[in-house]
């Protein structure tokens, strides 16, 4: 066992990152202390740690953000050091300063570096002084909208209006003309004041077709700083990263070296001691400019660990304990390709609204052959509404980019989550998209490819008849299972039909309500061949699989070469299949049953136009109308909060509220009726 660097450390965080830090600390022989709120009493990080301390009610402002309680927990448990993880207090200079003042070592950079890099205006000035490329712009605080217009005209459109203390896409607007500067300036100041308590904004040039690429750095207390290559983080939705990879498929070796050296220069300028990330925006011509420095461990740090073989949490602990870096820049390897998907509890088919509740089933892919899962949840656990929506991080490592893509596709198909919605269908679709596969993307990729949002028909199966063949195979396997039942009368044993009718809900490529696909199955020496009669003739599929009825995961080899992993939910003769982001619903009948199914009347959907439903689970924070009140189209009705996100519901048309079925402060479930209209 490695000699302990500290005897005991406290992790001032929760969820996935707390579990991640605990795992490394345990490997190093360091005892760990978890902190938890009321909502996290049964959380995984609490179970993993050697000790756990209750620090307050569920809202983070009453627990995880209270510096005094974190420091007191360190004192009460004898923790010598504290690791802040990411989020919460991780980039809070006051927290770092106060812990150090109490004799508790902060596992992260010194508070002066956090403060210097936390202010976007100050950090840009430091970058300029360190001769780091910076975006052309106005680096002073802009006083008013008229001044903003003059500055923007001088820089040249398009420009970005940014809050100095901003982050997560808040306090940021892109303006293409004077009018957009005027409105964007006011909006940014308001958002900045509301979210960060700091309404200062500045203006800089907007880079067309930008890429978001960041450099991981490590610095020790002896002036040694190295960079650990780059991470490509351009696949973003509303400024939130969705997929990260390392290295980047875009930049050249020369650009990589230049960006790395500039990141090191900036880190040295602030005497940086720990793991940190210097973020750059990179233009189509590989020109790159400093954005900001994140003075903490990043969510996407595992992809860097995969290609370098270094444990970044371990490095942070060693640096905080006073050790020198044990390697030089020349000794850092770049091995293979890594990718990460953030698996969040958001419903991609409802505009990514939060999805809270119980994890009825939770089976991540097995962590072998270059697959890694970092998580803070377990089957049967709850996803609370009070914190961010992360369920897990899925990381893969391959010899090259194509191998990493194939591993991620398979791992996403294997990842079973039931009880709540997740982003897996969306990410699985992205990994099939030709632009992503080719590496031809920028930060606008998702907005460009899914301008109307992500829907069930946003991704079509590459071979829809394969789904019909799989459904036929599974139906036949189920009938084989029934055939094994003892006690059948001699001469009257069950005979399994060879012909079926797969009835789908929609004809592929058309708007028909229903479409029937005749199928036929042949079995020989344990192998199955399914014939599907489609518009252009008959397709055949040789299916080799050990799938058994009741198993969610179906792994098969098709036609001797293609290996696939799909998920299936079977309800009697109905099947729901999911493969590579495409979803397929069908029932498998006899040919006669299929003909009769076509004659069945279609039940009309109920009229819900006079009801307001909750689009997501959450807390009803505002109820803005009363029973009997007349409302007009566009009027605010309610506000619902979940996972740091507030969703405002507006009246779709003029009307009168006839009945309120909830009260302000209620916890709502998805699709719960909030009010009725006359």
Which one of the listed residues 292, 300, 305, 340 is annotated catalytic?
292
Domains of the chain from N-terminus onward: 8-107 (3.40.50.20), 109-135+210-335 (3.30.470.20), 136-205 (3.30.1490.20), 343-450 (3.30.470.20), 464-599 (3.30.700.30), 611-677 (2.40.50.100)
| % of residues, the chain, pLDDT over 90 | 74
In which band, very low, low, confident or very high, does the pLDDT at 4 lie, cut at 50, 70 and 90? low
pLDDT at residue 506 in the model: 52
Nearest of 552, 565, 534 to residue 463 by alpha carbon? 534
Q: Is the peptide bond before 158 cis (omega within 30 degrees of 0)?
A: yes
Q: Say if residue 199's pLDDT is above 80.
A: yes
pLDDT score for 1: 39
Tokens matching residue 676:
């009725």
Q: Is the pLDDT of residue 282 over 50?
A: yes
Residue 393 has pLDDT above 70, yes or no: yes
* Predicted pLDDT at 486: 66
Residue 90 has pLDDT above 90, yes or no: yes
Q: Decide if 94 is catalytic.
A: no
pLDDT score for 168: 61
The helix (run of H) or strand (run of E) holding residue 256 is: helix 253-269
Is the whole-model pTM more than 0.75? Answer: yes
Q: How far is 482 from 96, CA to CA, in rounded Å?
A: 65
CB 577, CB 473: distance < 8 Å:
no
Note the pLDDT tens digit of each residue in 582-632.
988 899 999 998 888 877 776 777 888 899 999 888 899 999 999 999 999
pLDDT score recorded for residue 203 = 92
The answer to whether residue 516 scores a pLDDT higher than 90 is no
Triad 161, 163, 165: Cα angle to 5°: 160
**DSSP calls for 361-392:** EEEPPPS-TTEEEEES--TT-EE-SSS--EEE
Q: Is 182 left (phi over 0), alpha (psi -120 to 50) or beta?
A: alpha
Average pLDDT over all residues of the chain? 92
> For residue 492, is pLDDT > 80?
no
Confidence category of residue 509, pLDDT binned at 50, 70, 90: very low
What is the DSSP code (8-state) at residue 463? Answer: -
At residue 167, the pLDDT reads 66
Summarize pLDDT for 162-185 with one digit per residue, the tens.
Answer: 888 876 667 889 999 999 999 999
Does residue 202 register a pLDDT over 50?
yes
Q: Could you tell me which residue, 309 or 508, shows the higher pLDDT?
A: 309
Q: pLDDT tens for residues 27-57?
A: 999 999 999 999 999 999 999 999 999 999 9
CA 235 to chain centre: 11
pLDDT value at residue 192:
85
């Amino acid at each position: 066992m490695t000699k302990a660097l500290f005897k005991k450390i406290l992790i001032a965080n929760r969820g996935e990152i707390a579990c991640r830090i605990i795992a490394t600390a345990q490997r190093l022989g360091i005892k760990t202390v978890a902190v938890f709120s009321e909502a996290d009493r049964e959380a995984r990080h609490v179970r993993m740690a050697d000790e756990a301390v209750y620090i307050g009610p569920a809202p983070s402002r009453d627990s995880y953000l209270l510096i005094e309680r974190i420091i007191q927990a360190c004192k009460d448990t004898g923790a010598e050091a504290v690791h802040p993880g990411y989020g919460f207090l991780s980039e809070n200079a006051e927290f770092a300063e106060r812990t150090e003042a109490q004799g508790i070592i902060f596992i992260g950079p010194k508070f002066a570096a956090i403060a210097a890099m936390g202010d976007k205006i100050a950090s840009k000035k430091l970058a300029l002084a360190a001769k780091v490329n910076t975006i052309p712009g106005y680096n002073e605080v802009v006083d008013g909208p008229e001044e903003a217009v003059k500055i923007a005209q001088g820089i040249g459109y398009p420009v970005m209006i940014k809050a100095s203390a901003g982050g997560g896409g808040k306090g940021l607007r892109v303006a293409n003309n004077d009018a957009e500067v005027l409105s964007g300036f006011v909006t940014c100041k308001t958002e900045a004041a509301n979210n960060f308590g700091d309404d200062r904004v500045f203006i800089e040039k907007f880079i067309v077709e930008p890429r978001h690429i960041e450099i991981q750095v490590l610095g020790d207390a002896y002036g040694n700083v190295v960079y650990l290559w780059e991470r490509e983080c351009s696949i973003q939705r509303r400024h939130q990263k969705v997929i990260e990879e390392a290295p980047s498929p875009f930049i050249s070796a020369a650009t990589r070296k230049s960006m790395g050296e500039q990141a090191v220069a900036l880190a040295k300028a602030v005497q940086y001691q720990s793991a940190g990330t210097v973020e750059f925006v990179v233009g189509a011509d590989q020109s790159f400019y400093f954005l900001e420095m994140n003075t903490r461990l990043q969510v996407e740090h595992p992809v860097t660990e995969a290609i370098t073989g270094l444990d970044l949490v371990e490095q942070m602990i060693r640096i905080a304990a006073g050790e020198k870096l044990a390697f030089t820049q020349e000794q850092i390897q770049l091995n293979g390709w890594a990718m990460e998907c953030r698996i969040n509890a958001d419903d991609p088919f409802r505009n990514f609204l939060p999805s809270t509740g119980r994890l009825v089933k939770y089976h991540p892919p097995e962590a072998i052959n270059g697959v890694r899962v970092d998580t803070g949840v377990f089957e049967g656990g709850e996803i609370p509404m009070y914190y961010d929506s992360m369920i897990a991080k899925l990381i893969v490592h391959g010899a090259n980019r194509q191998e990493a893509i194939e591993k991620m596709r398979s791992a996403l198909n294997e990842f079973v989550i039931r009880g709540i919605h997740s982003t897996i269908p969306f990410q699985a679709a992205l990994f099939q998209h030709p632009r992503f596969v080719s590496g031809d993307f920028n930060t606008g990729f998702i907005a460009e490819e899914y301008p109307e949002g992500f829907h069930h028909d946003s991704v079509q199966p590459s071979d829809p008849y394969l789904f019909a063949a799989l459904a036929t195979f599974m139906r036949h396997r189920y009938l084989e299972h029934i055939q094994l039942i003892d006690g059948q009368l001699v001469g009257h044993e069950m005979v399994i039909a060879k012909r079926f009718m797969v009835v789908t809900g929609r004809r592929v490529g058309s708007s028909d309500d229903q479409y029937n696909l005749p199928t036929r199955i042949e079995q020989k020496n344990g192998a199955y061949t399914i014939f599907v009669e489609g518009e252009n003739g008959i397709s055949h599929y040789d299916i080799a699989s050990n799938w058994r009825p009741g198993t969610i995961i179906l792994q098969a080899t098709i036609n001797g070469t293609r290996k696939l992993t799909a998920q299936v939910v079977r309800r009697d003769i109905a099947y729901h299949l999911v493969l590579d982001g495409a979803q397929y619903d069908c029932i498998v009948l006899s040919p006669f049953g299929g003909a009769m199914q076509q004659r069945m009347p279609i039940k009309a959907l109920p009229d819900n136009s006079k009801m307001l439903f909750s689009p997501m689970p959450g807390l009803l924070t505002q109820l803005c109308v009363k029973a009997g009140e007349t409302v007009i189209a566009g009027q605010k009705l309610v506000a619902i909060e979940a996972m740091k996100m507030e969703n405002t519901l507006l009246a779709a048309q003029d009307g009168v509220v006839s009945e309120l079925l909830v009260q302000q402060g209620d916890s709502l479930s998805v699709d719960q009726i909030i009010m009725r209209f006359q």
